[in-house]
Amino acid sequence: MELVSPVEPNFHLKANRTFTGLRRHAWVLVPIIAGGSLYYPPLGLGVAAIMVLIMVSGFFQGRYFCGNVCPHGSIFDRLSLPVSLNKKIPAFFRSPILKWGFFGFYMVMFVVRLGRVAPFWGDVEFLGRFGALMGNQYLVMPTIVGVSLSFLNPRTWCSFCPMGTTGQVMYKLGKALRLNRKTDRKVTISAPEQCHTCATCARVCPMQLEPYKNWNGENQFDNEVCIRCGTCVEHCPADLLSLATAHEAKKLREATSLEGYEKRHAVSAQIERITQLRENVRELTFKTNGNNGDHRSNGSAMGFEPGQFVLVKVGDDPEVFRAYSISSTDPNDPERLSVTVMNKPGGYGSHAVFGRFEEGQEVQLEGPMGRELVVDKQADKVLFIAGGIGITPFVPIAKDLVGDPGAVNSATLLYGVNKEHEFLYDDYFSELADQSEVFDYVKAVAFPDGDWTGHTGFVTAVLQEMDLRDYKIYMCGPPPMVNAVMKTLKQMQAEGRGTSDEFVYYETAS
């Protein structure tokens, strides 16, 4: 069976973009205003209200309206997205010539048409005629043209929408007058050093912008086309993004610790060995080749602490990396490191690892990174909770603890999978447990097939049988497992047999 499709996955993702009730439902205003004004023209006056809102919010917050309030934006993100091809927006539609030319044309047409209804000012007919003018414009432009273009990409229209450009013009004015610094919330990264360069922010961006490549000196994405929709913020897997003012960005910068990221550097490496662990899981062993000439590179080896992860380049144009926990069974070999990757059908990185990577091939690595799963060896008792592919960081961690007589007094690995054949490194952990007085290995299978005699159910069921007081807990697994465990830990805390929140560390591997 083919592990990956020969077709490269689409770079742009159909990720959820509607996080508020307003964004989900604002689209109903379009048929009411655009359609309704054909029968009752004063309804078209709603467009005038929208224009005023765009101008006022544009002055203070740039194109915030487009990403959070606009009824057409709601159509594009809620109704068009599921059926859209979601392709790259053609350069023509994003060109400044089209955008500013169309803006000028729209404004001239608007003034000319306004001139036609102006003689009715003060007359009872004025509101009807003005409403019809606005409603008509709303129907033809964003509704008919915008929705038609949305089948190519939902937000194609927004690249040259004259109303959006009006918001941008007002924003320029606010910036020039320095009156919007306290209200101007831009996409902000807590620390670029922690960025996985995974490009998820660019892949989910409705406007197809690339925040991760364009941070300014204040760690902000200073782009006037950004509609402040927060989609990148919601989907960043490293949870590094927020919408913040320049002042908030500064505070965030000062409060962010770079511990665990200070040794990050770039090296080139050769894929020395690919070991198929299961049909959809393979272990890649890299031999580092030295400084790759990158200005961030400071040496050949990548010394890491067990529990850290590394970035592997999976695409050149655009440059995209994927984060994988270091799963080396020999943490003391400075020139070799391994990662263990599960194939995600349709995944961008999976397509590279399972479709293109072969032994002998050169790849770029960056790391080591991360601190969450680096174990405090001074702790008395530690519990590791792993789900599925989340077992990987515990491979070097367990060996390191077992080989260090000065480390913790008790370490338990609780490993949960759906089916018994899904356990990875099972013999390895069993052998470590046999050799060691301090290391215990507990397995749980959620839906066993055959004559499984161990724990049946999720890891949370096993946790319920434990007393976790005085434990430090390190966890890695898919988000549903992490969320379920956190809930169970809270409940156990309330019952007086849990550990405190500050002793729970986790990373999600999904």
Residues 285-314 contacting ligand FAD, CB under 6 A: 309
Query: In the complex, what is the shortest distance from the CB of residue 488 to ligand FAD, in angstroms, rounded to a whole number?
Result: 22
H helix intervals, 295-377: 348-355
Query: In the complex, what is the shortest distance from the CB of residue 130 to ligand SF4, in angstroms, rounded to a whole number?
Result: 32
Residue with tokens 């032994």: 359
d(CA 499, CA 227): 42
**65 vs 423, which CB is nearer to ligand SF4?**
65
Cα–Cα distance list, 381 to 413, 497, 503 (Å): 11, 14, 11
Contact partner, 488, from ligand SF4, ligand FAD, none, Cβ < 5-8 Å per class:
none
Residues 199-258 contacting ligand FAD, CB under 6 A: 200, 204, 235, 237
**Judged by CB under 6 A, which of 35, 42, 315, 347 binds ligand FAD?**
347
Q: Could you say whether residue 344 binds ligand FAD (CB under 6 A)?
A: yes
Of residues 23, 225, 33, the one with CA closest to residue 141: 33
Non-local CB neighbours of 417 within 8 Å, separated by 6+ positions: 387, 388, 423, 443, 444, 445, 446
246: left (phi over 0), alpha (psi -120 to 50) or beta: alpha
Query: In the complex, what is the shortest distance from the CB of residue 200 to ligand SF4, in angstroms, rounded to a whole number?
Result: 4
Apex 226 CA angle, 225 and 231, nearest 5: 150
**How would you class 347 by CB atoms within 10 Å of its CB: exposed for 0-12, middle for 13-18, buried for 19 or more?**
middle
Full DSSP string of 47-82? HHHHHHHHHHHHHHHTTHHHHHT-HHHHIIIIIITT
**Judged by CB under 6 A, which of 240, 310, 352, 481 binds ligand SF4?**
240
- Cα 204 to chain centroid distance, Å, stands at 8
Site stretch for ligand FAD (CB under 6 A), options 101-109, 144-152, 343-351, 480-488: 343-351
**485 vs 509, which CB is nearer to ligand SF4?**
509
**73 vs 387, which CB is nearer to ligand FAD?**
387
**Judged by CB under 6 A, which of 59, 76, 157, 212 binds ligand SF4?**
212
The tokens for 314 are 């999976």
Per-residue contact flags (x/-) with ligand FAD for residues 355 to 384, judged by CB under 6 A? ---------------x--------------
How many residues lie near ligand FAD (CB under 6 A)? 27
Query: In the complex, what is the shortest distance from the CB of residue 234 to ligand SF4, in angstroms, rounded to a whole number?
Result: 9
**How would you class 208 by CB atoms within 10 Å of its CB: exposed for 0-12, middle for 13-18, buried for 19 or more?**
buried
Angle between helices 426-435 and 394-402 (to 10 degrees): 20
Query: In the complex, what is the shortest distance from the CB of residue 278 to ligand FAD, in angstroms, rounded to a whole number?
Result: 12
**170 vs 339, which CB is nearer to ligand FAD?**
339
Site stretch for ligand FAD (CB under 6 A), options 163-171, 179-187, 296-304, 320-328: 320-328
Residue with tokens 């620390």: 191
Contact partner, 67, from ligand FAD, ligand SF4, none, Cβ < 5-8 Å per class:
ligand SF4
Q: Could you say whether residue 230 binds ligand SF4 (CB under 6 A)?
A: yes
The tokens for 182 are 């306290």
d(CA 500, CA 204): 36
How many residues lie near ligand SF4 (CB under 6 A)? 28
Residues 13-42 contacting ligand FAD, CB under 6 A: 13, 15
Q: Could you say whether residue 281 binds ligand SF4 (CB under 6 A)?
A: no
Per-residue contact flags (x/-) with ligand SF4 for residues 170 to 209, judged by CB under 6 A? -----------------x-x-----xxxxxxx---xxx-x
- CA diameter of the chain: 94
Angle between helices 162-176 and 45-61 (to 10 degrees): 40
- Which residues of the chain form contacts with ligand FAD (CB under 6 A)? 13, 15, 200, 204, 235, 237, 309, 322-325, 339-342, 344, 346-350, 370, 389, 392, 507, 509-510
* Binding footprint of ligand SF4 on the chain (CB under 6 A): 67, 187, 189, 195-201, 205-207, 209, 211-212, 221, 226-232, 236, 238, 240-241
